[in-house]
Amino acid sequence: MDDHKDTGLAVIVVEDEDAIREEVCDYLSRHGFSVRGVADGGGLERMLQDAPADVIVLDLGLPHEDGIEIAKRLRRQRISIGIVVTTARSRVEDRILGYETGADVYLVKPVNYAELAAVIAALKRHRDQRPAADQGPAEMAWQLDLATWRLMTPTGAAMRLTRAEMKVMDLLSRTPGAPVMRHLIGRHMGKSDQLRDHRYVDQLVSRLRRKVITELGWEAPIGSAQGEGYFVPGSFHRLGEPTGPL
C-alpha cells in the first residue's frame, strides 16, 4: 500500500461498472480518502442516509436514473457537497449542462486518477476556506489584477493567467454581474462567429474553471448564462491597469 496521510475526506464513488468502481475506490483509498462505492442513484441516497460525504464522484451514464438528474438533486438538497462528474460524454454542450446542473468539476473518461484525487482535495479546501455567513459571500472578494495577470481568491491566494485566460477575465470583469454572450467573447479573442469558435470559448472557460479548482482550491467565479454566455459576480473587483496590450 502507498504511504499517504489520511485526508479525513469522505468520498462516495457512483459508478455502475464494477471494475472501474473498484479501481477508483482502491486508488483513492490508498491516497488517504475514506471511500465508499455504489452503482446507482438509489444506492447513493441510502448511503448518504447512513453517513454523510464530502465529495461525490458521479458517473453520468447510470442505470435507472441519469447522473444529471442525480447532480440536480444533490445540489438542491446538499448545497455544500462537492460533485465531480466523470463521463464519456465529451461534447461541449454536455460539459456546459453538467456545470449548470450542479457539477463542480467535469472530467472526461478515461480519468487520470491522480488528477481526480487532486480535484477532490481542492474542492474540500475551497469549502473549508469559505467565510462564515456573517462575513458576506465569498464571491464578493474575487479580484483580477490587470497589471500582473493574476486572479485572486477572497483569502488572497493568487493564480497567474495565460494571455487567453486574461482576455476572457478582462472582458467579463468589465461588466460584472451582466452576462457576455459567447460570440462577443469570441470576437474579443479574435475569433469568428462560427460554431467552432463558440466551442473554442467554451473549452477555454472549461479549462480555466478546472485550473482554478486545481491550483487555488476554489470554484472559479465564472457563471453560465443559460448556455449562451458567461459572467462574473456583480461585485467582482478589477485592480490596477494593464501594462501593455492583451
Please say whether the beta carbons of 38 and 65 come within 8 A.
no
Helical H runs in the chain? 18-30, 41-50, 67-77, 92-100, 113-129, 163-174, 182-188, 195-216
- What pLDDT does residue 80 have? 72
The residue type found at 136 is G
φ, ψ for residue 231 (rounded to 5)?
-155, 160
All structural domains of the chain, each given as residue ranges with its CATH number in brackets, are 10-129 (3.40.50.2300), 136-239 (1.10.10.10)
Q: pTM for this structure?
A: 0.55
- What pLDDT does residue 1 have? 40
122-133, pLDDT tens digit by residue?
A: 877 665 554 443
φ, ψ for residue 111 (rounded to 5)?
-85, 135
Please say whether the beta carbons of 16 and 27 come within 8 A.
no
Cβ-based neighbour number of residue 14 at 10 Å: 25
- What pLDDT does residue 24 have? 96
In whole angstroms, give the CA distance from residue 204 to residue 220: 13
58-87, pLDDT tens digit by residue?
A: 998 898 888 888 988 887 777 678 889 998
The residue type found at 40 is D
Low-confidence ranges of the chain (pLDDT < 70): 1-5, 79, 100, 125-141, 192-198, 226-227, 235, 243-244
- What pLDDT does residue 179 have? 85
